[in-house]
C-alpha cells in the first residue's frame, strides 16, 4: 500500500522541484490530449515549446512576442504573490486589469490629439489608480464586513467586463469608426503610445515596469519589515497579531498593491500591443497570472521564469492552432493543467510517499 507520511518540516528540494515535475506531467497529459484529438503529440509539444524560440521559420516573429506576452503576466503575478503569501486571495486581477486599461485609455482619449510629454505618465498613474480603486472594493468589504475577498474580487471581474463592453460601444467608441465598437487606435497617438524601446525585441515600458516590480517586491519581501509581516501573517496569523501586525491594514496594502500592478499591466497593454479598447480587449491575463504566481512559488525570481514559460505556451499555442489545427480550447486546457498538476504534486513538499506491506490476517 502507498501512504503519505508527514514530513517534520517542508522539503526545500521538493518545494522547487515540484514546478519542474508539474511541467513534465503537463507535457505528458497534454500530449495524450492532443493525440485524442487526432494530432501528433510530439509535433504539438515541439510546436509549443521549441519552435517559437529555435525554429528558423517562426523564431524571428515569436522571440519578440515572448516579452510582450510575459510582461503583463509577470507584473500581475508579482502583485498577486504578495497577497497570496499573506493569505489574502485576490482572484479578481482580471477585473483590475480591465479597469486599469480603461482609466489609462480615458486619459489618452481625453487629450487626443494634443502633444505633451506628460500624457503618458498621467496614463501610468491613471492605470495604477484604476486597478487600485477596483481592488479597494473587496478590501473595504473584507475589513468592514468580513466578506470573502475571493468571491467579491471574482464577481467584480464580470462587472468590469460589462463596463468594458459598455465603454467600447459608448463613451469611448471611435467617432470616426463608422459605428463599429472600439476606441481610437492609441498606438497612432505618439504622446500616448507604448512603442518598443529596442526594435524587434518586444521590450516596451510595460516589460520595464514588470522587472522593476520584481526587484522592488524582492527587496520588500526580504529586506523590509513589511515583507516580514506579510510572510508571518501567511504562515502564523495568530503570531502575527501578537507581533503587532494589523490584519486590516495588511489586507488593504496587499489588495491595493496587487490591484495597482494589474491596473498598470492593463494600461501598458492597451497603449501598446492591444492598441485600443474593444469588447474583447481582455486576454484573461489576470487569471493566467494566478498560475504564474504559484508556478513561480510566489517568489519574484521564480515568477519571472514562470511568466516566460507561460508566455511561451501562449505563443506556441497560437502556432499550434494555426499550423496543426488545434482548437483554442485545447490550448487553454493545456495551460490549466499546469496549475492542476502543480497543486497535485505540491503534496510532496509536506509529505513523503511510503510503501507499506499489509499483513495477512
Q: What is the mean pLDDT of the chain?
A: 91
Omega into 113 within 30° of 0, i.e. cis? Answer: yes
DSSP one-letter string for 121-136:
HHHHHHHHHHHHHHHH
Question: Tell me, what's the pLDDT at 59?
Answer: 84
Please give the average per-residue pLDDT across 267-295, as a whole number. Answer: 91
Question: Tell me, what's the pLDDT at 6?
Answer: 85
Please give the average per-residue pLDDT across 182-204, as a whole number. Answer: 89
For 249-271, write each residue's pLDDT tens digit. 999 999 999 999 999 999 999 99
Q: Is the pLDDT of residue 360 over 60?
A: no
CA distance 308 to 70: 5
CA distance 230 to 250: 7
Question: Tell me, what's the pLDDT at 352?
Answer: 85
Query: Which fold does the domain 40-325 belong to in CATH?
Result: ABC transporter involved in vitamin B12 uptake, BtuC (1.10.3470)
- HEC string of 196-210 equals CCECCCCECHHHHHH
CA distance 81 to 268: 20
Question: Tell me, what's the pLDDT at 172?
Answer: 92
Q: Is the pLDDT of residue 302 over 60?
A: yes
Own/partner contacts of 234-238, CB < 8 Å, gap of 24 or more, are 234/84, 234/85, 234/86, 234/87, 237/87
The more confident residue out of 4 and 270 is 270
Q: Which of 314, 289, 281 is nearest to 99 (CA)?
A: 281
**pLDDT band at 154; cut points 50, 70, 90:** very high
Q: Cell digits for 67?
A: 516579452
Q: Is the pLDDT of residue 180 over 90?
A: no
DSSP code of residue 357: P
Question: Tell me, what's the pLDDT at 310?
Answer: 93
For 51-108, write each residue's pLDDT tens digit. 999 888 888 888 889 999 999 999 999 999 999 999 999 999 999 999 999 999 999 9
Q: Is the pLDDT of residue 242 over 80?
A: no
DSSP one-letter string for 295-342:
HTTT-HHHHHHHHHHHHHHHHHHHHHHHHH---HHHHHHHHHHHHHHH
Please give the average per-residue pLDDT across 33-60, as a whole number. Answer: 91
Q: Cell digits for 264?
A: 498598470
H or E segment and range at residue 354: strand 351-355
Any idea where the domains of the chain sit in the sequence? 1-39+326-361, 40-325
CA distance 48 to 331: 9
Among 238-247, 300-309, 343-352, the range with the most confident prediction by mean pLDDT is 300-309
Question: Tell me, what's the pLDDT at 153?
Answer: 96
Question: Tell me, what's the pLDDT at 4?
Answer: 81
**pLDDT band at 5; cut points 50, 70, 90:** confident
Q: Which of 275, 84, 257 is nearest to 193 (CA)?
A: 275
pTM, to two decimals: 0.92
**pLDDT band at 236; cut points 50, 70, 90:** confident
Percent of the chain with pLDDT over 70: 98
Please give the average per-residue pLDDT across 231-254, as a whole number. Answer: 84
Query: Helix or strand or coil: residue 67?
Result: helix
Angle of helix 149-169 relative to helix 93-111, nearest 10 degrees, comes to 30
CA distance 300 to 75: 10
Amino acid at each position: 500500500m502507498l501512504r503519505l507520511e508527514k514530513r517534520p518540516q517542508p522539503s526545500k528540494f521538493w518545494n522547487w522541484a515540484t514546478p519542474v515535475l508539474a511541467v513534465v506531467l503537463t507535457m505528458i497529459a497534454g500530449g495524450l490530449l492532443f493525440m485524442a484529438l487526432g494530432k501528433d503529440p510530439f509535433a504539438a509539444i515541439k510546436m509549443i515549446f521549441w519552435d517559437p524560440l529555435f525554429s528558423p521559420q517562426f523564431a524571428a516573429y515569436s522571440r519578440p512576442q515572448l516579452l510582450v506576452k510575459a510582461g503583463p503576466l509577470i507584473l500581475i503575478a508579482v502583485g498577486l504573490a504578495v497577497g497570496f503569501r499573506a493569505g489574502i486571495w485576490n482572484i479578481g486581477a482580471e477585473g483590475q486589469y480591465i479597469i486599469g486599461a480603461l482609466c489609462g485609455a480615458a486619459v489618452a482619449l481625453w487629450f487626443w490629439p494634443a502633444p505633451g510629454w506628460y500624457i503618458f505618465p498621467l496614463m501610468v498613474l491613471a492605470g495604477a489608480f484604476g486597478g487600485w480603486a477596483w481592488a479597494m472594493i473587496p478590501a473595504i468589504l473584507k475589513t468592514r464586513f468580513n466578506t470573502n475577498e475571493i468571491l467579491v474580487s471574482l464577481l467584480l471581474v464580470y462587472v468590469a467586463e460589462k463596463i468594458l463592453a459598455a465603454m467600447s460601444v459608448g463613451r469611448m467608441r471611435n467617432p470616426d469608426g463608422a459605428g463599429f465598437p472600439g476606441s481610437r487606435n492609441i498606438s497612432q497617438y505618439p504622446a500616448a503610445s507604448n512603442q518598443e524601446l529596442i526594435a524587434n525585441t518586444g521590450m516596451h515600458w510595460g516589460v520595464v515596469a514588470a522587472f522593476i516590480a520584481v526587484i522592488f517586491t524582492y527587496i520588500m519581501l526580504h529586506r523590509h519589515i513589511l515583507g516580514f509581516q506579510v510572510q508571518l501573517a501567511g504562515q502564523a496569523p495568530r503570531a502575527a497579531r501578537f507581533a503587532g501586525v494589523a490584519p486590516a491594514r495588511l489586507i488593504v496594502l496587499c489588495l491595493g498593491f496587487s490591484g495597482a500592478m494589474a491596473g498598470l499591466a492593463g494600461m501598458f497593454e492597451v497603449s501598446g500591443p492591444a492598441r485600443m479598447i474593444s469588447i474583447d480587449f481582455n486576454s484573461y491575463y489576470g487569471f493566467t497570472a494566478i498560475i504564474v504566481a504559484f508556478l513561480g512559488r510566489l517568489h519574484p525570481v521564480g515568477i519571472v521564469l514562470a511568466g516566460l514559460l507561460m508566455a511561451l505556451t501562449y505563443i506556441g499555442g497560437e502556432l499550434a492552432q494555426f499550423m496543426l489545427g488545434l482548437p483554442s480550447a485545447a490550448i487553454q486546457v493545456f495551460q490549466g493543467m499546469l496549475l492542476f498538476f502543480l497543486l497535485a504534486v505540491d503534496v510532496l513538499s509536506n509529505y513523503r510517499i511510503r510503501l507499506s506491506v499489509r499483513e495477512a490476517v
